[in-house]
Amino acid sequence: MSIHIVALGNEGDTFHQDSRPSGLIRTYLGRSPLVSGDESSLLLNAASTVARPVFTEYQASAFGNVKLVVHDCPVWDIFDSDWYTSQNLIGGADIIVIKYNVNDKFSFHEVKDNYIPVIKRASNSVPVIIAAVGTRQNEELPCTCPLCTSDRGSCVSTTEGIQLAKELGATYLELHSLDDFYIGKYFGGVLEYFMIQTLNQKTSEKMRKRKMTNSFHGIRPPQLEQPEKMPVLKAEASHYHSDLNNLLFCCQCVDVVFYHPEVTGIVEAHKIVLCAVSHVFMLLFNVKSATDIQDSSIIRTTQDLFAVSRDAVFPGASQGSSSNPPLRVIVKDALFCSCLSYILRFIYSGAFQWEELEEDIRRKLKDSGDVSNVIEKVKCILKTPGKINCLRNCKTYQARKPLWFYNTSLKFFLNKPMLADVVFEIQGTTVPAHRAILVARCEVMAAMFNGNYMEAKSVLIPVYGVSKETFLSFLEYLYTDSCCPAGIFQAMCLLICAEMYQVSRLQHICELFIITQLQSMPSRELASMNLDIVDLLKKAKFHHSDCLSTWLLHFIATNYLIFSQKPEFQDLSVEERSFVEKHRWPSNMYLKQLAEYRKYIHSRKCRCLVM
């Protein structure tokens, strides 16, 4: 193993012709304890070298058995005379040493202007040492006269040397003399560090090449390709807020109307939505009692604003059903009643956009005092029991509240008889529900309750083909826009129920749940689980869950070695089996190559490098 060092530049002082010792490189090679041979042998080696006239070549042994080859070129004109040889030597260098004399600015500029550009073009991550040799003799400011040439003899400053080193990413050294300290310990220590790094790098590369050579003798081990990417399922965006907001405008399942004797027209609404956001309406509609609420301000707001009427039904009011006409509520404040349509739209939107509400009321009432009065009443309606002035700062409250809060408030009424106007009979048990929520969230139920069907006039509705737990999970999604199945089987049952009532977003949620559960299973669990994956695939296809069925086919193909050993694998159709065999992982080709490689390794009685 050898180390090639290229030294460039002249460290001699051309303006002080006193007797000087040998050059930097030769002095180091002659005095370093790590380099074998004395100065006379080095001179003989240098004198006998005629193959490369551009460089003076020194040869020695370092670290015992490492061949050290140094090429030294002190003059640029000689370097430039044989460009091909110079480029090849710099390109093959392991370490580059650049040297100049601090009292000879000409040598510094020769290095900076000529050698440095060549090194930048030729070297690639090669360590570079910049050595500034000598003690500065004249550090005063040089003459600035255009006719004066004394600047040639001025010193090269430390700043100039450091700046040059930064440009090249080199190590900068100042050697005040060529004695044992500066040569042996200072310059020698840095050079020997880079020599050791070079040896380590060459040794690593040699071992790597040897290992690669030994590994690829004979048959190469087969390369296992990556499995195909699984189909990506995109979740459907929620339309929960728009469903309940549209309920206000479609006027279906209305069960309460608000009016004021002096204000023209009525305002229709739904008890379930109003009670989900306000304890005032809970108290008004007897969902909670004053004892339950225990807040005098809410009780006072209810008594001051509203009163339940026993008058005749208004001709313009929509009918919840023939047997249950809407409840009539008198609004005692005429100004509040005139703005009630804006307030209900604000409540049904669920976004608590106070600026829009204030703008709507301001356009309606004009007077700022009346606007403030109505806004304060809205705040009182939305007050939380036991909290004081919780809506004093509307913008802060709006930022703190979630964008939509019915999904937690409506859960209070899930499977509860309060305000329920329909009852589902499932497996011998009953589940109360609210038509307004069902109509708003499910188009099939909206058609069922508003069309010429038996369910439109019946309170008790039987449900077939669905378990009570599955139907309750379905209702939970309609009420809260979320669900959490207990497992893959429950998610598949919920998907079937969602397909039956054509709730596509719930189908996508169930698909994503099933995929997430299967993807998280380790191979050992997949092999031992009792779930019939082929039966899951057939159910997904039967219930038009195309995304899930496609994903399951890819999943079976990707885990071919596991599922092909299961009995249900034989239940795949011809088309499904063809797809799985085509996309199976690992492929048949890889398994054949692996078998051949194992046979080869066994025949050579050597250890397999793959398995």
Please report, for the domain that includes residue 304, its CATH number.
3.30.710
In the beta sheet, which residues pair with residue 172? 130
Q: What are phi and psi of 148, to 5 degrees?
A: -95, 135
Residue 302 and residue 199 share a domain: no
* pLDDT of 395 over the 80 cut: no
- Average pLDDT for 553-560: 94
Residue 474 and residue 349 share a domain: no
* Lowest mean per-residue pLDDT among 9-23, 137-151, 294-308, 543-557: 137-151
Query: Which pLDDT score, from 0 to 100, does residue 100 have?
Result: 87
* pLDDT of 166 over the 60 cut: yes
Integer angstrom CA distances of residue 178 from 24, 57, 188: 7, 20, 11
Q: In which band, very low, low, confident or very high, does the pLDDT at 203 lie, cut at 50, 70 and 90?
A: confident
- Average pLDDT for 39-43: 48
* pLDDT of 51 over the 50 cut: no
* Lowest mean per-residue pLDDT among 357-366, 389-398, 466-475, 600-609: 389-398
Q: Which among 53-57, 258-262, 386-390, 394-398 has the top mean pLDDT?
A: 258-262
Of residues 351 and 590, more confidence is placed in 590
Query: Which pLDDT score, from 0 to 100, does residue 301 have?
Result: 93
* Lowest mean per-residue pLDDT among 38-52, 157-171, 342-356, 397-411: 38-52
Query: How far apart (Å, rounded) are the C-alpha atoms in residues 513 and 153?
Result: 82
In a domain, 26, yes or no: yes
Residue 168 and residue 41 share a domain: yes
Query: How far apart (Å, rounded) are the C-alpha atoms in residues 29 and 192?
Result: 11
In a domain, 195, yes or no: yes
Spatial contact of 551 and 231, defined as CB atoms under 8 Å apart: yes
Query: pLDDT per residue over 292-351, tens digit each?
Result: 888 899 999 999 999 998 765 554 555 444 457 899 999 999 999 999 999 999 988 875
Residue 189 and residue 49 share a domain: yes
- Average pLDDT for 471-478: 96
In a domain, 372, yes or no: yes
Whole-structure pTM value: 0.61
Count of beta carbons in the 10 Å neighbourhood of residue 521: 15
* Lowest mean per-residue pLDDT among 35-49, 195-209, 555-569: 35-49
In a domain, 106, yes or no: yes
Looking at the chain, the whole-number percentage of residues with pLDDT higher than 90 is 37
Query: How far apart (Å, rounded) are the C-alpha atoms in residues 238 and 542?
Result: 25
Largest CA distance in the chain: 128
In a domain, 594, yes or no: yes
* pLDDT of 253 over the 80 cut: yes
Residue 535 and residue 463 share a domain: no
* pLDDT of 217 over the 70 cut: no
> Which three-class secondary structure state does DSSP give residue 384?
coil
Query: Which pLDDT score, from 0 to 100, does residue 302 have?
Result: 94
Query: Which pLDDT score, from 0 to 100, does residue 139 have?
Result: 55
Query: Which pLDDT score, from 0 to 100, does residue 509 have?
Result: 94
* pLDDT of 414 over the 80 cut: yes
In a domain, 459, yes or no: yes
* pLDDT of 405 over the 70 cut: no
Residue 194 and residue 76 share a domain: yes
- Average pLDDT for 384-402: 55
Residue 593 and residue 525 share a domain: yes
Query: Burial of 594 by CB count in 10 Å (0-12 exposed, 13-18 middle, 19+ buried)?
Result: middle
Q: Could you tell me the CATH number of the domain that includes residue 444?
A: 3.30.710.10
Q: In which band, very low, low, confident or very high, does the pLDDT at 47 lie, cut at 50, 70 and 90?
A: very low
Peptide bond preceding 586: is omega within 30 degrees of 0, i.e. cis? yes
Q: In which band, very low, low, confident or very high, does the pLDDT at 54 lie, cut at 50, 70 and 90?
A: low
- Average pLDDT for 535-542: 95
Query: Which pLDDT score, from 0 to 100, does residue 402 have?
Result: 43
Query: How far apart (Å, rounded) are the C-alpha atoms in residues 378 and 371?
Result: 11
User: Which amino acid is located at 16 in the chain?
Assistant: H
Tally of structural domains, the chain = 4
Query: pLDDT per residue over 490-508, tens digit each?
Result: 999 999 999 999 999 999 9
Q: What are phi and psi of 447, to 5 degrees?
A: -70, -35
The first and second tokens of residue 142, run together, are 């040089």
Query: Which pLDDT score, from 0 to 100, does residue 399 have?
Result: 43
Secondary structure (H, E, C), 486-530: CCHHHHHHHHHHHHHCCCHHHHHHHHHHHHHHHHCCCHHHHHHCC
Looking at the chain, the whole-number percentage of residues with pLDDT higher than 70 is 83
Query: Which pLDDT score, from 0 to 100, does residue 153 have?
Result: 52
Residue 199 and residue 74 share a domain: yes
Q: In which band, very low, low, confident or very high, does the pLDDT at 369 lie, cut at 50, 70 and 90?
A: very high
In a domain, 230, yes or no: no
Torsion of CA 521, 516, 507, 271, to 10 degrees: 110
Residue 53 and residue 26 share a domain: yes
- Average pLDDT for 37-43: 50
Last residue of a domain, one of 504, 539, 562: 504
Query: How far apart (Å, rounded) are the C-alpha atoms in residues 312 and 211?
Result: 98
* Lowest mean per-residue pLDDT among 132-141, 147-156, 503-512: 147-156
Short-list 238, 240, 260, 445, CA closest to 348: 240
- Average pLDDT for 215-238: 78
* Lowest mean per-residue pLDDT among 74-83, 147-156, 499-508, 556-565: 147-156
In a domain, 377, yes or no: yes
Residue 428 and residue 492 share a domain: yes
Residue-averaged pLDDT of the chain:
82
Local structure of residue 323 (DSSP, 8 states): S
Query: How far apart (Å, rounded) are the C-alpha atoms in residues 581 and 588?
Result: 9
Query: Which pLDDT score, from 0 to 100, does residue 85 have?
Result: 77
- Average pLDDT for 41-65: 62
Query: pLDDT per residue over 78-132, tens digit each?
Result: 777 777 777 788 888 888 898 888 888 888 888 888 888 888 877 667 898 998 8
Residue 464 and residue 536 share a domain: no
Q: Could you tell me the CATH number of the domain that includes residue 37?
A: 3.40.50.300
- Average pLDDT for 254-279: 92
Residue 192 and residue 120 share a domain: yes
Its domain, for residue 461, covers 407-504
* pLDDT of 407 over the 60 cut: no
